[in-house]
């Protein structure tokens, strides 16, 4: 008996890994630009960034996953979008500090390697990297029987970007009177899926092919909408002096994420009803019997990124952000005193927290 067959009997198929890796290397190479100095296969990736025009270049790094959205992808047998989700989520995290992405690395863990599913996952990562102009510099493919169950996958991403130090967005420029501009989300993005799955699949026994109650939207289509990247929308204003901060609305919703960029002694006043909540959130609220404060803390409620803007620059910023499907909207302001987020209702919507 050879070592290879012994390893296969232990649950690790080296031949299947080699087949997947050969295809994944081609996917990574397709994202390379002149900044990448070595081919895939070394122990580490080599990347030489251009520093032209940067006075004090600062690296910004982040890591994240797509959580239990992977369960929905597994149910649908469609892994083509979660890789895009992963890249876009990470891009948005460093974008919130003013950084543009340079390169990305991924980790795929599985109980039993399924080459087609693995390649589909990484193809999505490749697509996300291409869309955001960053290199898929490398990654890790781990087959761990006994740790992950057969059919289960884990997908994690690591991103490195760069920003000129004078342009770092850290909340330090935020002042009372600043205006809060919401940028629409494209569904749940990558947060709140454990609760959404429990409501839709466990409590109400819906299938992915069913329609969301009261809508013409399929359950599967609604849940697998890719996490939107805000890089192209925000790139034209990242150096604008009127842009004071950005908050990526992920786990914790507006309630927990917006205060991360507010100075001490200020609070955000958010007007519920100032934007139209997508049907998916209304369905989850109704079917789940969820309180308004829980909805606002678990889900993004249709707002995926919030720009904190000097009121004198508001018109210019709104014009730069553009219109169409993802037209931005004013959702509130920064006020002196207190802390956190205070919700007021000036149109029909969840009651939230009142002043």
Q: What digits encode the pLDDT tens for the residues 94-110?
A: 999 999 999 999 999 99
Confidence of residue 9 (pLDDT cuts 50, 70, 90): low
Query: Into which CATH architecture does domain 3-167 fall?
Result: 2-Layer Sandwich (3.30)
Q: Which of 163, 136, 165 is nearest to 30 (CA)?
A: 136
pTM for this structure? 0.92
Contacts 24+ apart (CB under 8 A), 28-33: 28/122, 28/126, 28/135, 28/136, 28/137, 28/138, 28/139, 30/126, 30/130, 31/126, 31/129, 31/130, 31/134, 31/135, 31/136, 32/135, 33/135
pLDDT at residue 178 in the model = 98
Q: Determine how β-strand 243-248 pairs with β-strand 153-164.
A: unpaired
Q: Which of 153, 28, 135, 47 is nearest to 91 (CA)?
A: 135
In CATH terms, the fold of domain 179-345 is: Phosphoribosyl-aminoimidazole Synthetase; Chain A, domain 2 (3.90.650)
Distance CA 23, CA 124 (A): 13
Distance CA 16, CA 12 (A): 9
CA angle 28, 32, 35 (to 5 degrees): 140
CA angle 316, 130, 161 (to 5 degrees): 65
pLDDT at residue 322 in the model = 85
- Supply 42's token pair: 């070394």
Taking only the tens place, the pLDDT of each residue in 115-167 is 899 999 999 999 999 999 999 999 999 989 889 888 888 999 999 999 999 99
Distance CA 99, CA 168 (A): 7
Q: Which of 189, 212, 192 is nearest to 200 (CA)?
A: 212
172 exposure class (CB count in 10 Å sphere: 0-12, 13-18, 19+):
exposed
Q: Which of 155, 24, 159 is nearest to 103 (CA)?
A: 159
- Supply 84's token pair: 């895009």
List the domain boundaries for the chain: 3-167, 179-345
Q: Which of 92, 102, 18 is nearest to 257 (CA)?
A: 92
Q: Report the first-to-last Cα separation within the chain, whole angstroms.
A: 73
Distance CA 294, CA 296 (A): 5
Taking only the tens place, the pLDDT of each residue in 285-338 is 999 999 999 999 999 999 999 999 999 999 999 999 987 778 999 999 999 999
């Amino acid at each position: 008996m050879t070592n290879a067959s012994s390893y296969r009997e232990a649950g690790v198929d080296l031949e299947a890994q080699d087949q997947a890796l050969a295809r994944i290397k081609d996917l990574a190479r397709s994202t390379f630009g002149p900044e990448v100095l070595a081919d895939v296969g070394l122990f580490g990736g080599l990347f030489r960034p251009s520093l032209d025009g940067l006075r004090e270049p600062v690296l910004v790094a982040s890591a994240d996953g797509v959580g239990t959205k992977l369960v929905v992808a597994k149910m649908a047998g469609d892994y083509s979008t979660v890789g895009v989700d992963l890249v876009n989520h990470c891009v948005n995290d460093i974008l919130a500090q003013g950084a543009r992405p340079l390169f990305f690395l991924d980790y795929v863990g599985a109980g039993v390697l399924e080459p087609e599913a693995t390649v589909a996952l990484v193809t999505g990562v490749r697509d996300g990297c291409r869309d955001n102009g960053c290199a898929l510099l490398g990654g890790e493919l781990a087959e761990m029987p006994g740790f992950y169950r057969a059919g289960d996958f884990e997908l994690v991403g690591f991103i490195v970007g760069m920003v000129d130090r004078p342009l770092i967005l850290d909340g330090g420029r935020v002042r009372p009177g600043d205006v809060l501009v919401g940028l629409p989300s494209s569904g749940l993005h990558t947060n709140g899926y454990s609760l959404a799955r429990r409501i839709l699949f466990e409590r109400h026994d819906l299938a992915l092919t069913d329609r969301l109650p009261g809508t013409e939207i399929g359950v599967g289509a609604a849940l697998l909408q890719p996490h939107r990247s805000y890089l192209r929308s925000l790139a034209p204003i990242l150096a604008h002096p009127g842009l004071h901060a950005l908050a990526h609305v992920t786990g914790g919703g507006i309630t927990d994420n917006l205060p991360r960029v507010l100075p001490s002694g200020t609070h955000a006043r958010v007007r519920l009803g100032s934007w139209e909540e997508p049907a998916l959130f209304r369905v989850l609220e109704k079917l789940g019997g969820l309180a308004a404060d829980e909805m606002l803390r678990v889900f993004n409620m249709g707002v995926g990124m919030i720009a904190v803007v000097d009121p004198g620059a508001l018109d210019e910023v709104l014009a730069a952000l553009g219109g169409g499907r993802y037209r931005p909207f004013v959702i509130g302001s920064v006020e002196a005193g207190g802390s956190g987020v205070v919700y007021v209702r000036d149109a029909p919507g969840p009651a939230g927290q009142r002043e």
